[in-house]
């Protein structure tokens, strides 16, 4: 057990930082610290251009195996890449669903033809992905998926509705969990389909959030179609693949997320120093607690990444979503409390939020999307602690 990085890793850190300093400037300067959660709607085109610059530098798919065109970095170097990217204020990645979810799923479960067709576009920053999981009325409960797909004329024909789909209107492809076995219930009969977004059968309707901006969307499938080949695995494998994909979400990119959190905390500390709240003993306790919590988040992530890499979820991983979401939400509240009455005052009418106001409001979704805190607690209790399962009624 050691927590310091090797000299070689530290040289790699310098390389990343140097490339970013050289490239995240000029036309990209205005993207710094933009486009993260709560700000996804900002500068989509410019951020796609930035994705292609990243691709040119070899900084896409850094954790993907070399055999599929990735950079094949070690875990430590991936950590370093994500940390430095966030530290430099690298813009929110338009390609993160492709690189972090669709790509790893295809690498693990896709056919050779699918890999050849889709992975290069993700790596090159030319094709973008979104995720069709949640449904109205089903919430976090994939077993209740009602969207259905049927084989008609050598294609899948898809009908139904997805919700909470971020970046849907900026995406070329969507991976969709749909019920392909008519009459099936629960986890059975689900399939994992790849569906092109640019077609008349798909309508995207933005969902206005607490922030007044639209990060998520409803996606309506009305006789939408995709080629018969665009199924990952076999019909009925959808649940298995979706569960594996949940594991991909908890990876090295958490270290980059934490660096963003650190940027936010630093801003809060700067304000507290400036407006005198840093002298208030009660506020000092809260700020110190936030600082402690973020350090612990980092070491919790490093434990996740250092454990056996057999795909099993460690205990450190099982608590992670609940932990970071709650911490981040509390940071938003702390930011407002440090600001005092000034926290209320907007950047401008009608509803232009400051960065910290946006943090405050948007973090209310952190504890809900991607599995609510309540679902996380169920999972922890049932899977990690092996407590009795909730009886399933009705």
CA angle 169, 119, 311 (to 5 degrees): 100
Give the C-alpha distances (Å, rounded to integers) separating 57 from 23, 45, 70, 226: 9, 19, 12, 33
Options 182, 341, 350, 391; binder of its own copies; rule CB under 8 A: 391
CB nearer to other proteins: pick between 28 and 133: 133
Whether residue 73 contacts residue 62, with contact meaning beta carbons closer than 8 Å, is answered with: yes
Minimum distance from CB of 216 to its own copies (Å)? 29
Give the one entry of its own copies, other proteins, none that residue 171 binds, where binding means its C-beta sits below a cut-off of 5 to 8 angstroms depending on kind.
Answer: none
Give the one entry of its own copies, other proteins, none that residue 263 binds, where binding means its C-beta sits below a cut-off of 5 to 8 angstroms depending on kind.
Answer: none
Region for 180 from its dihedrals, namely left if φ exceeds 0, alpha if ψ lies in -120 to 50, beta otherwise = alpha
CB nearer to its own copies: pick between 385 and 393: 393
Q: Could you tell me how many residues of this chain bind its own copies (CB under 8 A)?
A: 6
Two tokens, residue 371 = 């599995």
User: Interface residues for its own copies in 160-179 (CB under 8 A)?
Assistant: none
CB nearer to its own copies: pick between 234 and 288: 288
Tokens 């309540």 locate to 374
CB nearer to other proteins: pick between 96 and 315: 315
Give the C-alpha distances (Å, rounded to integers) separating 127 from 59, 139, 197, 261: 16, 28, 11, 28
- Among the listed residues 51, 249, 344, 386, the single catalytic one is 249
Which residue in 92, 87, 19, 18 sits closest to 53, CA to CA? 19
Give the one entry of other proteins, its own copies, none that residue 261 binds, where binding means its C-beta sits below a cut-off of 5 to 8 angstroms depending on kind.
Answer: none
249 a catalytic residue: yes
The CA distance from 61 to 251, in Å, is 13
Give the one entry of other proteins, its own copies, none that residue 287 binds, where binding means its C-beta sits below a cut-off of 5 to 8 angstroms depending on kind.
Answer: other proteins
CB nearer to its own copies: pick between 199 and 279: 279
Minimum distance from CB of 337 to other proteins (Å)? 7
Give the C-alpha distances (Å, rounded to integers) separating 63 from 3, 133, 171, 255, 276: 21, 24, 22, 14, 44
User: Interface residues for its own copies in 251-310 (CB under 8 A)?
Assistant: 280-282, 285
365: β partners: none
Minimum distance from CB of 139 to its own copies (Å)? 17
For the annotated catalytic residues, the residue numbers are: 249
Interacting residues toward its own copies by CB under 8 A = 280-282, 285, 391, 393
């Amino acid at each position: 057990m050691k927590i310091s990085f090797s000299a070689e890793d530290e040289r790699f850190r310098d390389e990343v930082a140097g490339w970013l300093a050289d490239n995240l400037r000029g036309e990209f300067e205005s993207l710094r610290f933009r486009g993260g959660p709560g700000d996804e709607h900002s500068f989509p085109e410019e951020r796609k251009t930035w994705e292609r610059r990243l691709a040119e530098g070899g900084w896409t798919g850094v954790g993907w195996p070399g055999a599929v065109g990735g950079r094949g970095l070690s875990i430590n170097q991936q950590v370093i890449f994500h940390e430095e990217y966030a530290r430099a204020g690298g813009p929110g990645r338009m390609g993160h669903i492709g690189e972090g979810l669709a790509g790893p799923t295809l690498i693990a479960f896709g056919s050779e033809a699918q890999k050849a067709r889709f992975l290069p576009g993700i790596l090159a920053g030319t094709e973008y992905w979104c995720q069709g999981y949640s449904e109205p009325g089903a919430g976090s409960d994939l077993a209740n998926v009602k969207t259905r797909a049927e084989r008609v004329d050598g294609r899948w024909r898809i009908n139904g509705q997805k919700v909470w789909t971020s970046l849907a209107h900026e995406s070329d492809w969507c991976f969709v969990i749909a019920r392909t076995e008519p009459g099936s219930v629960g986890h059975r009969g689900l399939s994992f389909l790849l569906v092109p977004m640019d077609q008349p059968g798909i309508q995207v309707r933005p969902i206005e959030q607490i922030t007044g901006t639209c990060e998520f969307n409803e996606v309506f499938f009305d006789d939408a179609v995709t080629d018969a080949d665009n199924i990952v695995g076999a019909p009925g494998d959808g649940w298995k693949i979706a569960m594996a994909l949940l594991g991909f979400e908890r990876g090295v990119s958490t270290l980059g997320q934490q660096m963003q959190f650190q940027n936010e905390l630093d801003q809060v500390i700067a304000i507290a120093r400036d407006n005198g709240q840093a002298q208030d003993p009660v506020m000092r306790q809260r700020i110190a607690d936030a600082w402690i919590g973020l350090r612990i988040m980092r070491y919790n992530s490093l434990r996740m990444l250092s454990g056996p890499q057999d795909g099993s979820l460690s205990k450190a991983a099982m608590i992670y979503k609940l932990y970071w979401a709650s911490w981040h939400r509390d940071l938003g509240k702390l930011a407002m409390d440090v600001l005092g009455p000034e926290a209320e005052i907007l950047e401008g009418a009608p509803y232009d939020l400051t960065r910290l106001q946006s943090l405050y409001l948007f973090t209310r979704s952190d504890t809900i999307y991607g599995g609510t805190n309540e679902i996380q607690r169920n999972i922890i209790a049932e899977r990690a602690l092996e407590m009795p399962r909730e009886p399933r009624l009705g």
